Structure 1
Amino acid sequence: MITSVIRGRWGPCASTAPTGSNATTWEPCGVGVLPPAPLHPRPSASSSVHVALPQRPLSIDHPSLVPKHNPPMRFDPPNPFNIADSFLDDRVREGTGHRVALRTGDGDVTYAALQGRANRIANALTAMGVRPEERVLIALPDVPDFAAALFGTLKLGAVGVMVNCFLDERRLRDICDYARAAAVVLHADQGDVFARAAASARRSPRLLVLGTDEGDQRVDNSSSHFDNFASHPDDPAIWLFSGGTTGAPKGVVQPHASFANSTECYARHVLGYSADDITISVPKLYFGYATGSNLFFPLSAGGSAVLFPERCTADELFAQIARHRPTILINVPTMVNRMVSHPEAARQDLSCLRVATSAGEALPPSLHRRWNDTFGVELLDGLGTAEMWHVFISNRPGAVRPGTLGTAVPGFEVRLCDDDGREVPHGEVGRMRVRGGSRAHGYWRHPRETRRAFAHDWYVSGDMMTRDADGWFTYQGRADDLLKVSGKWFSPREAEECLLAHPGVREAAVVGVENEDGLVVPVGFVVPAAESDAGGGAAAGITEAELRAHARARLESYKVPHAIHLLADLPRTHLGKVDRGALKRSGAP
């Protein structure tokens, strides 16, 4: 666990404890923080205050394309509008600064404490010369300083670029050059790597290194008051990076208004975030899915988020749930699989959860049913993209169909079209187009890709889906993942779900690979259910021949993988998605 990140700021100050007392007072920079507790009960109903975004008129648009139970809406934030002001400072102005915003193993951080820390970082960055609209890399683990650094960056009108703090030197240098970063906020544990990356970058960014005497003094000596920059709703606020499952990730420039819209339309009107909610996330905060669901959404409602810097394993997640008793779990299919496959799964008490969500990858219906049978917690599969900030298709509490993504979230219009832009009939596969109030400005320094993907007010995705007559969407894969074998198109997801149905398979992926004759054939990659290395198929109880026989008995012949490779793990992108490009490069049949 990374404790040095919060040393002296988000930790105990022994000097504030009464003389002769064994008590430890939590007092970071003079702002109150609650002490850690082995169990955090929900706030009482009498103390809860539900405060979302200010109420605004909802405009009706294209009602025929949205199911009748899903009225369209759009939230137009006021001008000026700054995320940090709305999601953080508003809670303090409302008199709820004493409530818990962030829950960690080292103590609970109140809204007032988080605001004070964010203001100090905003002042420190300003003193370092960072100006509005410049990019600031946030390269921190999931600790309170991540939230403080992001909000501090937004407060001064700069643009937050969230990155994995464990990237290697080359990738960090490339991101610094690509973003033309003015500054990087990081921790001393990664200081040497970032220093080398910054020194070799074409434009060397300034470094605010927390956990060092210089960095800590720079922040602690800064004022805890800051006048927020009067951002326009359309001003750039945060960069997200596209998934990069088949190509290099691109910086997606999202304005302040996008976060207001997703918070109102998805967080409030689909999931119903409230001040009573405690959230916990499998993805880390640099992943936009978690930034929204485990930071912005709970804070917008006066709730709280659980943060932990440790790598998220099933054991770690179960332990965090047992300690903090969250009400909303932000999950991904890979962890869903690991949780239900855990030998102690049946003994886990997840009764605190009122709902769980899944996104990032397709959730096989067989895995969804295993989750339901094991834990009995409603699991909502959905789809979001960096280009639309967050989830815009989702199942709903009380209305879940395993194997589907659900229906369009209020405020979003989704169409499925052919290559000429014409809508396809119900039941036919089409390329997704979506529009709504959270669409990005485009890709940073990628004008050609921006023109292709952002047509008029639509985002034209590479995701392929079907939609039934009731408006329920079923994912079929990325356009560049679909395979044409023997003159016939099919989605590799069908073959993947077939392999996953084998009891000896934990994870599976299928991609198209050219054979020696130049023809594309499906090739499978399987992680056995038992822990083993790439050559441990026999030890895991399965072989390639057995898996191909399993597939032949259930699939049409052209969908059966020509080869199946047994791996210890599937390669993944920086966002944790299966790296299909890497599989294609390694998957000679």
Structure 2
Amino acid sequence: MDHPTPALPQRFNFARHILEINAERSSKVAYIDDHGTVTYGELEQRIRRFAAGIRASGIHREERILLIMQDSANLPVAFLGALFAGAIPVPVNTLLPADDYAYMIEHSGARMVIASSPLLPCVQEAFGKVSVRPELIVSEGSANDLRSMDNLLAAEPLAVSLCADTSCDDFAFWLYSSGSTGRPKGTVHSHGNLFWTAELYAKPVLGIKTDDVVFSAAKLFFAYGLGNGLTFPLSVGATAILMAERPTPQAVFARLTEHKPTIFYGVPTLYVAMLASPSLPGKEDVALRVCTSAGEALPKEVGEKFHDHFGCEILDGLGSTEMLHIFISNRNGGVRYGTSGQPVPGYDIELRDENGQPVAPGEIGDLYIRGPSAALLYWANREKSRATFLGDWLKSGDKYCADTDGYYSYAGRNDDMLKVSGQYVSPIEVESALMGHPAVLECAVIGKTDSEGLVKTTAYVVLAESRTAARELEDELKAFVKGRLAPHKYPREILFVSDLPKTATGKIQRFKLRALQD
């Protein structure tokens, strides 16, 4: 039964909402990070102190604060503290070069930057490239003459009555897109958007409850990770685990076995690596009741193998920075691996052809979404805003098809689609077929134009440790795909590689593979 959806008042501040619903949980642990634990009572005090600290520092309503912070309890404090004060937090990828940080500082007009100590050299390099330098705060400890976040938190707590009187539609925070097709876009979200992702997805689909312990491999700067590790647990009073280091299988296994999370949020490439690791813990060593996957399509075989090992479903789904979190998802008891699931109640989905007309079941179309968590605009980018935000609808840039039961299957990004022998081929479909072979650990499929100007399907394959590349294996993989798909879809060329280029959030960067063909 779906969770009843409450009405959202017009005057609404998400940070104040979180403090109010957890007021009776002051002694319960809200966060476990690399430094220890933070209770809900301590979290509230730090949020209100941070809000007072930035106001005392001259930060005004709707001014931006760039958060270049590794995952620790300080990041939710800064994010929610900024919301409480009416400022705009902008959490950004912690793995970027200095040029990207310089661009984001300039583009956002940030008045303050809060950075984790290990990232300071890169951030200070970025400061040398900007025309106006905001105040730089170090989030943990101290560094030279820089002010520390502890200094901000020394302020007297801002009274709840002095919380910024925002509306549910006011600008609340930004997230920068990955920028795979150009400069990153500053995606502007409202206070209400955070509320709706919890009410429409986390509670009814994920089934998150107060006694859950959650752990997200996706970091908080990622829209997926922000919901997983901040919005969702705090919306029900659950406990969240945060870690600063990269989510390697070993690091993930340590948290799964030590802290026993009941909900784990991963991405397909991580699930593949976990299952391939000789250190994979047994079902009896963990407490998982449900897992999720997003970022890109979860291969059918990976979901089935994980479920067989842990007895726990992976709810693969589709979300985006622009929609803030997942709007198509599998659900417990109705999982169909190899699909993204069905629309999350509260969201409308349409697949349209090149003329904007609906496509028939089984046909590939452009994905359009309508729902209450949609971003408001891209900051200072009217052209991209007008191309993406079309009235009530958002054009995602993804290709999908749906079956007669309403399950949606990913066909790739618009730029990834191939036309072979006059027919569209989804690289995702070919990759899924290849992943069914035991020799294949990971793969990515692109189009390669031959000497006659014809597009041929080319696969880059990372092999499982037990197999070595050979001409016989290439022929075997081609025959394997031919036995699963229409003849024109099999890869005409298979290239064996040691790894695939990926974003910080684990998405395979097919555009980099295409560049190798030029």
TM-score, structure 2 normalization: 0.93
CA distance in 1, matches of 2:330, 2:88: 32
CA distance in 2, matches of 1:403, 1:217: 47
Of residues 282, 292, 305 in structure 2, which corresponds to 1:357?
292
Cα RMSD for the two superposed structures: 2.1
Query: What is the total number of aligned residue pairs between the two structures?
Result: 509
Task: Indicate the residue corresponding to 2:256 in structure 1.
Answer: 321
Of residues 361, 364, 369 in structure 2, which corresponds to 1:429?
364
Q: What is the Cα deviation at residue 246 of structure 1?
A: 4.8
Task: Indicate the residue corresponding to 2:88 in structure 1.
Answer: 159
Q: Are the equivalent residues in 2 in contact too, given 1:91–1:111 (CA < 8 A)? A: no
Q: What is the Cα deviation at residue 491 of structure 1?
A: 0.3
Of residues 172, 180, 186 in structure 2, which corresponds to 1:251?
186
CA distance in 2, matches of 1:90, 1:324: 27
* SS of residue matched to 1:386: coil
How do 1:329-408 residues align onto structure 2 when only pairs under 5 Å count? 329-345=264-280, 347=282, 349=284, 351-408=286-343
- Could you list the per-position Cα deviations for residues 159-213 of structure 1 after superposition, in whole angstroms to 9, with x for gaps in the alignment? 1211122322111111112222221111232223212312321332221123216
1:543/1:106 CA distance change after superposition, 3 Å: same
Task: Indicate the residue corresponding to 2:229 in structure 1.
Answer: 294
Q: What is the Cα deviation at residue 356 of structure 1?
A: 0.5
1:544/1:168 CA distance change after superposition, 3 Å: farther
CA distance in 2, matches of 1:327, 1:394: 19
1:131/1:496 CA distance change after superposition, 3 Å: same
CA distance in 1, matches of 2:243, 2:480: 45
CA distance in 2, matches of 1:239, 1:454: 16
1:310/1:445 CA distance change after superposition, 3 Å: same
Task: Indicate the residue corresponding to 1:466 in structure 2.
Answer: 401
Q: Are the equivalent residues in 2 in contact too, given 1:322–1:349 (CA < 8 A)? A: no
Identity of aligned pairs, percent? 37
For residue 188 of structure 2, what is the amino acid of its counterpart? V
1:346/1:280 CA distance change after superposition, 3 Å: closer
- Could you list the per-position Cα deviations for residues 81-136 of structure 1 after superposition, in whole angstroms to 9, with x for gaps in the alignment? 1111112x11443x211111001243211011112222222222222222111221
Q: Does 1:551 align with 2:484?
A: no
- Could you list the per-position Cα deviations for residues 409-450 of structure 1 after superposition, in whole angstroms to 9, with x for gaps in the alignment? 111111111112211122211111110111111212221121
Of residues 136, 142, 145 in structure 2, which corresponds to 1:207?
136
1:346/1:303 CA distance change after superposition, 3 Å: closer
Q: Does 1:197 align with 2:123?
A: no
Q: What is the Cα deviation at residue 517 of structure 1?
A: 3.9
CA distance in 1, matches of 2:475, 2:271: 25
Deviates most, 141-150 or 200-209? 200-209
CA distance in 2, matches of 1:518, 1:118: 59
Task: Indicate the residue corresponding to 2:508 in structure 1.
Answer: 578
* SS of residue matched to 1:345: coil
Q: Does 1:566 align with 2:496?
A: yes
Of residues 158, 179, 185 in structure 2, which corresponds to 1:225?
158
- Could you list the per-position Cα deviations for residues 352-385 of structure 1 after superposition, in whole angstroms to 9, with x for gaps in the alignment? 1111111111111111111111211111111111
1:420/1:117 CA distance change after superposition, 3 Å: same
- Could you list the per-position Cα deviations for residues 389-420 of structure 1 after superposition, in whole angstroms to 9, with x for gaps in the alignment? 10011111111111111111111111111112
For residue 11 of structure 2, what is the amino acid of its counterpart? P
CA distance in 2, matches of 1:385, 1:205: 30
Q: Does 1:541 align with 2:460?
A: no
Unaligned runs of 5+ in 1: 1-68, 531-538
Q: What is the Cα deviation at residue 141 of structure 1?
A: 0.8
Task: Indicate the residue corresponding to 1:50 in structure 2.
Answer: none
Q: Are the equivalent residues in 2 in contact too, given 1:416–1:432 (CA < 8 A)? A: yes
Q: What is the Cα deviation at residue 260 of structure 1?
A: 1.0
1:98/1:586 CA distance change after superposition, 3 Å: same
CA distance in 2, matches of 1:389, 1:216: 27
Task: Indicate the residue corresponding to 1:276 in structure 2.
Answer: 211
Q: What is the Cα deviation at residue 248 of structure 1?
A: 4.2
CA distance in 2, matches of 1:300, 1:321: 22
For residue 475 of structure 1, what is the amino acid of its counterpart? Y
Q: Are the equivalent residues in 2 in contact too, given 1:83–1:259 (CA < 8 A)? A: yes
CA distance in 1, matches of 2:366, 2:284: 41
How do 1:500-519 residues align onto structure 2 when only pairs under 5 Å count? 500-519=435-454
Deviates most, 442-451 or 237-246? 237-246
Task: Indicate the residue corresponding to 1:81 in structure 2.
Answer: 12
Deviates most, 308-317 or 122-131? 122-131
CA distance in 1, matches of 2:116, 2:281: 38
Of residues 241, 261, 268 in structure 2, which corresponds to 1:306?
241
Of residues 416, 425, 428 in structure 2, which corresponds to 1:493?
428
Task: Indicate the residue corresponding to 1:410 in structure 2.
Answer: 345
Q: Are the equivalent residues in 1 in contact too, given 2:169–2:191 (CA < 8 A)? A: yes
Q: Are the equivalent residues in 1 in contact too, given 2:101–2:123 (CA < 8 A)? A: yes
- Could you list the per-position Cα deviations for residues 470-508 of structure 1 after superposition, in whole angstroms to 9, with x for gaps in the alignment? 221111111221100121111011221232222222110
CA distance in 2, matches of 1:249, 1:491: 26
Task: Indicate the residue corresponding to 1:122 in structure 2.
Answer: 51
Task: Indicate the residue corresponding to 2:385 in structure 1.
Answer: 450
CA distance in 1, matches of 2:181, 2:494: 20
1:487/1:350 CA distance change after superposition, 3 Å: farther
1:216/1:400 CA distance change after superposition, 3 Å: closer
Deviates most, 116-125 or 416-425? 116-125
CA distance in 2, matches of 1:263, 1:305: 15
Of residues 96, 99, 102 in structure 2, which corresponds to 1:173?
102
CA distance in 2, matches of 1:70, 1:119: 34
Q: Are the equivalent residues in 1 in contact too, given 2:300–2:338 (CA < 8 A)? A: yes
Bigger relative contact order, structure 1 or 2 (CA pairs below 8 A, ≥6 apart): 1
- Could you list the per-position Cα deviations for residues 209-268 of structure 1 after superposition, in whole angstroms to 9, with x for gaps in the alignment? 232163255224312334321111111112223344555432211111111111111111
Unaligned runs of 5+ in 2: none
Q: Are the equivalent residues in 2 in contact too, given 1:388–1:439 (CA < 8 A)? A: yes
CA distance in 2, matches of 1:222, 1:583: 51
CA distance in 2, matches of 1:563, 1:113: 58
Q: Are the equivalent residues in 1 in contact too, given 2:329–2:341 (CA < 8 A)? A: yes
1:392/1:103 CA distance change after superposition, 3 Å: same
1:448/1:376 CA distance change after superposition, 3 Å: same
Q: Are the equivalent residues in 2 in contact too, given 1:504–1:542 (CA < 8 A)? A: no
Q: Are the equivalent residues in 1 in contact too, given 2:99–2:129 (CA < 8 A)? A: no
* SS of residue matched to 1:404: coil
Of residues 134, 138, 146 in structure 1, which corresponds to 2:67?
138
Q: Are the equivalent residues in 1 in contact too, given 2:434–2:440 (CA < 8 A)? A: yes
Q: What is the Cα deviation at residue 151 of structure 1?
A: 1.0
Q: What is the Cα deviation at residue 521 of structure 1?
A: 2.5
- Could you list the per-position Cα deviations for residues 303-346 of structure 1 after superposition, in whole angstroms to 9, with x for gaps in the alignment? 11001112111111111111111110011111111121122336
CA distance in 1, matches of 2:181, 2:488: 23
* SS of residue matched to 2:148: helix
CA distance in 1, matches of 2:425, 2:297: 16
CA distance in 2, matches of 1:241, 1:545: 45
